[in-house]
Chain A
């Protein structure tokens, strides 16, 4: 127990201790301001979710499915916790940098595991609390639950089920990752493909459900929903007992149901601990192995152009670091995946004539190529450019090697250009693949595709330089894993805002040009967009290059 408390205290301080040295200066306020803007943007959405759940609470009482619905809401809150929790389990338990150090201490591996598991539980507790406030509480108010006091206790036991699932799922995944370790590019490709499949499958299922619901009438839909909720409740037993403890009956019944929920969760926690602690040391040891390739391939030496050498170095660093590759190449898959999902879900609708207009969907698109192009450009801005981690980690991913940029006899202008060119190439691959799919699957007119390609290429240049500049201004250096490098990265947050602002400008200008009512004006619109973007590109590049020397020289790890 002494080992446990000592280790837990150290881990807690390491993760949560307030760093006064970093809490000073302008950067702190920039980050606070950014978070405030993001919070303001998200608040209406969260308020909407809360209101919706309040209404569902009212509805649940009317159709007599309070327990089923409450159980489902617990379940959804747990799925969100699980999604975040899985990454926490990996980063804290299996892939943590302190594993090597801890395994050398005279402490049982089970104790180390228990400390880390408890630590993950505390993190999940926070996530669970946040989701509960916006989901469970409004529902409880809407349904006027008699024993709402149970909610306070539910916060503490809700994270147990996702924690159990996360630790169990993590075991085979950890072994899979160990297998892929040091396989460089292969593992990066597998991770990215795996993420694509999950992404497409998830949205395909969500879209299918949405479409199925739209086709049914309201009464049928409610009965079906209540049935589904009750069926789910019968599977999620601990959540069902938790829901029962709040819904009704006597105080004794409510307490008994709460005890049942607690006992089941405790049993699951114990089971997860038993199984995972058993494999913990072996899987962590496997992670710490560093096999050599024993390659006898002859080395090839070649001196290259400096910009090209930096691009090549950056690309190899990205592609051989699976986690970084996942972030940086995500923009290549997200746009095309979106097109694929749209194509799969709408495949039956393209050629069918819409009675109101007497044309098929494909024919309508052919009539309005400018609007279709605008939609494609907006999707690209939001899905591809705003997620360009190749640009937003341009300097952050240098990490402790940042000093090399300062000692190398290469002008900072070339460094900025190299970083932006790589980001632009990645952008362009995402754009081209997405547009090809839009043409092939969604039957988008060729003219729209060509316009989108030209405009997106120019806007992509602007985004690349702006994002590289933003990261150069405040890179996150000295990190142990890339997630830590991306956490609170102002460049990523700014990118999102930049994309939203670009969308607003694009749509606003489109509306202004369309007021003229002359079709040629729409093509002038795209010429103007290209011209303005080119101007922005020159300004962005100039600003980045002009300030590079001062910024880089004054950035220290």
Chain B
């Protein structure tokens, strides 16, 4: 289980509250959708969950491991797909996967088997000998996705993962998210595409001005409005809304 406890982060020496006292629990085997308008604090929350940013207050606990107390063990259990697809683009795809496998202590056999299966699934097996700089936007995204899965992470964090993917890969990624959750792992997924969130996620959280304003299953959130999109717009447009 993933637990975010009173998580807070401020920028500009405390003048801007990016995340404000965020409390959240995500269960094992769940795909959790994280929604919010631009600048709401989604990326800051994700960056704190992955160790890129240090929270000012609060803690993050994954299956009993605290990011503050055991950062390396915590990170070992996370797979992260960033929204900017930044990778070492002078490496070839295969070299990048070897590097990621080594960093996460993936045994050579598991690495080879996982890399081959996933590369085939996402249709980039023929490009793995090319340097990443020659990849298209979507191919880079696929490679980063594969790299984040080599060690079978307990928590898979994806920040806007569908941007730039072709329909076939979008379908494969969505299917794999479900497959990963069905193995008992947690998938934490941020997106602006509400239709996808509605179809893929078990539960959704909506963040606004750094505060979590709504959490629930799709059905729970939709019950007050006809669609998740309407609910989202309603929540994010009202200043006084408390979910």
Taking beta carbons and an 8 Å cutoff, which residues of A are in contact with B? 182, 184, 290-293, 295-297, 299-306, 308-309, 312-313, 316-317, 320-321, 399-401, 403-404, 406-411, 553-554, 556
Q: Are B108 and A303 in contact (CB under 8 A)?
A: yes
Q: Are A309 and B98 in contact (CB under 8 A)?
A: yes
Q: Are A303 and B128 in contact (CB under 8 A)?
A: no
**Which B residue sits closest to A305, measured CB to CB?**
B102
Q: Are A406 and B88 in contact (CB under 8 A)?
A: no
Q: Taking the nearest CB of chain A, how far is it from the CB of B88, in angstroms?
A: 6
Q: Are B84 and A400 in contact (CB under 8 A)?
A: yes
Task: Using A295-B129, A301-B111 as known contacts, say yes or no to A409 and B104 having CB atoms under 8 A apart.
Answer: yes
Interchain CA distance A401-B53 in the complex, whole Å: 14
Task: Using A290-B133, A313-B91 as known contacts, say yes or no to A303 and B86 having CB atoms under 8 A apart.
Answer: no
Please report which residues of chain B, range 146-185, place their CB below 8 angstroms from some CB of chain A when the two chains form the complex: none
Q: Taking the nearest CB of chain A, how far is it from the CB of B227, in angstroms?
A: 35
Q: Are B90 and A316 in contact (CB under 8 A)?
A: yes
Task: Using A301-B97, A303-B106, A408-B75 as known contacts, say yes or no to A321 and B90 having CB atoms under 8 A apart.
Answer: yes
B107 beta carbon closer than 8 Å to chain A:
yes
Find chain A residues with CB under 8 A from B94 CB.
299-301
Q: Are A306 and B86 in contact (CB under 8 A)?
A: no
Find chain A residues with CB under 8 A from B90 CB.
184, 316-317, 320-321
- What would be 25 A-B contacts, judged by CB atoms less than 8 Å apart? A182-B131, A182-B134, A293-B130, A295-B129, A299-B94, A299-B115, A299-B128, A299-B129, A301-B97, A301-B101, A302-B108, A303-B102, A303-B108, A303-B111, A304-B98, A306-B103, A309-B103, A316-B95, A400-B86, A404-B88, A406-B50, A407-B50, A408-B103, A409-B75, A411-B72
Task: Using A301-B112, A401-B86, A403-B86 as known contacts, say yes or no to A409 and B98 having CB atoms under 8 A apart.
Answer: no
Find chain B residues with CB under 8 A from A293 CB.
129-131, 134
Q: Taking the nearest CB of chain A, how far is it from the CB of B80, in angstroms?
A: 5
B242 beta carbon closer than 8 Å to chain A:
no
Task: Using A299-B115, A303-B101, A309-B98 as known contacts, say yes or no to A320 and B131 having CB atoms under 8 A apart.
Answer: yes
Task: Using A313-B99, A316-B90, A320-B90 as known contacts, say yes or no to A295 and B130 having CB atoms under 8 A apart.
Answer: yes
Interchain CA distance A140-B194 in the complex, whole Å: 73
Q: Are B91 and A317 in contact (CB under 8 A)?
A: yes
Q: Are B73 and A556 in contact (CB under 8 A)?
A: no
Find chain B residues with CB under 8 A from A556 CB.
52-53
Interchain CA distance A312-B91 in the complex, whole Å: 10
Interchain CA distance A275-B160 in the complex, whole Å: 46
CB-contact partner of A409 in B76, B116, B126, under 8 A: B76
Interchain CA distance A440-B86 in the complex, whole Å: 47
> Can you list, as one digit per residue, whether each of B57-76 has a CB less than 8 Å from chain A (1) or not (0)?
00000000000000011111
Q: Are A306 and B102 in contact (CB under 8 A)?
A: yes
Task: Using A301-B101, A303-B111 as known contacts, say yes or no to A292 and B127 having CB atoms under 8 A apart.
Answer: yes
Closest 6 CB pairs of A and B: A309-B102, A409-B76, A301-B112, A409-B75, A299-B94, A295-B129
Q: How many residues of B contact A (CB 8 A)?
A: 45
Interchain CA distance A305-B102 in the complex, whole Å: 7
Tell me which of A293, A296, A303 has the highest count of chain B C-beta atoms within 10 A of its own C-beta. Answer: A303
10 extra interchain contacts, Cβ-Cβ under 8 A, other than A313-B88, A409-B72, A409-B74?
A: A182-B134, A291-B134, A309-B99, A313-B99, A317-B88, A320-B90, A320-B91, A403-B86, A406-B51, A556-B53
Find chain A residues with CB under 8 A from B111 CB.
301-303
B82 beta carbon closer than 8 Å to chain A:
yes
Interchain CA distance A301-B52 in the complex, whole Å: 28
CB-contact partner of A407 in B51, B87, B105, B127, under 8 A: B51
B6 beta carbon closer than 8 Å to chain A:
no
Find chain A residues with CB under 8 A from B115 CB.
299, 301
Q: Are A407 and B78 in contact (CB under 8 A)?
A: yes
A-B contact count (CB 8 A): 112
**Which A residue sits closest to B75, measured CB to CB?**
A409
Task: Using A320-B90, A556-B53 as known contacts, say yes or no to A403 and B98 having CB atoms under 8 A apart.
Answer: no
B10 beta carbon closer than 8 Å to chain A:
no
Q: Are B54 and A292 in contact (CB under 8 A)?
A: no
Please report which residues of chain B, range 119-145, place their CB below 8 angstroms from some CB of chain A when the two chains form the complex: 126-131, 133-134
**Which B residue sits closest to A312, measured CB to CB?**
B99
Find chain B residues with CB under 8 A from A184 CB.
90, 131
Interchain CA distance A291-B134 in the complex, whole Å: 7
Q: Taking the nearest CB of chain A, how far is it from the CB of B158, in angstroms?
A: 13
**Which A residue sits closest to B101, measured CB to CB?**
A303
Q: Taking the nearest CB of chain A, how far is it from the CB of B40, in angstroms?
A: 19
**Which A residue sits closest to B151, measured CB to CB?**
A409
Interchain CA distance A72-B47 in the complex, whole Å: 59
Interchain CA distance A499-B86 in the complex, whole Å: 35
Q: Are A292 and B91 in contact (CB under 8 A)?
A: no
Find chain A residues with CB under 8 A from B128 CB.
299
Q: Are A401 and B87 in contact (CB under 8 A)?
A: yes
Find chain B residues with CB under 8 A from A317 CB.
88, 90-91
Task: Using A292-B127, A295-B129, A299-B128 as known contacts, say yes or no to A553 and B54 having CB atoms under 8 A apart.
Answer: yes
**Which A residue sits closest to B105, measured CB to CB?**
A303
Find chain B residues with CB under 8 A from A399 CB.
86
Q: Are B54 and A554 in contact (CB under 8 A)?
A: yes
Please report which residues of chain B, range 12-65, place their CB below 8 angstroms from some CB of chain A when the two chains form the complex: 47, 50-54
Q: Taking the nearest CB of chain B, how far is it from the CB of A23, in angstroms?
A: 15
Find chain A residues with CB under 8 A from B78 CB.
407
Find chain B residues with CB under 8 A from A304 CB.
98, 102
Q: Are B134 and A410 in contact (CB under 8 A)?
A: no
Interchain CA distance A439-B65 in the complex, whole Å: 58
**Which B residue sits closest to A554, measured CB to CB?**
B54
Interchain CA distance A188-B94 in the complex, whole Å: 21
Interchain CA distance A301-B100 in the complex, whole Å: 11
**Which B residue sits closest to A316, measured CB to CB?**
B91
Find chain A residues with CB under 8 A from B99 CB.
309, 312-313
Task: Using A299-B115, A400-B84 as known contacts, say yes or no to A410 and B103 having CB atoms under 8 A apart.
Answer: yes
**Which A residue sits closest to B113, measured CB to CB?**
A301
Task: Using A292-B127, A299-B129 as known contacts, say yes or no to A406 and B102 having CB atoms under 8 A apart.
Answer: no
Find chain A residues with CB under 8 A from B104 CB.
408-409
Interchain CA distance A403-B80 in the complex, whole Å: 11
**Which A residue sits closest to B128, measured CB to CB?**
A299
CB-contact partner of A403 in B52, B102, B107, B133, under 8 A: B52
Q: Taking the nearest CB of chain B, how far is it from the CB of A19, in angstroms?
A: 16
Find chain A residues with CB under 8 A from B126 CB.
296
Find chain B residues with CB under 8 A from A321 CB.
90
**Which B residue sits closest to A290, measured CB to CB?**
B134
Q: Taking the nearest CB of chain B, how far is it from the CB of A324, in angstroms?
A: 9
Q: Taking the nearest CB of chain B, how far is it from the CB of A396, in angstroms?
A: 14
Q: Taking the nearest CB of chain A, how far is it from the CB of B65, in angstroms?
A: 11
Find chain A residues with CB under 8 A from B130 CB.
292-293, 295
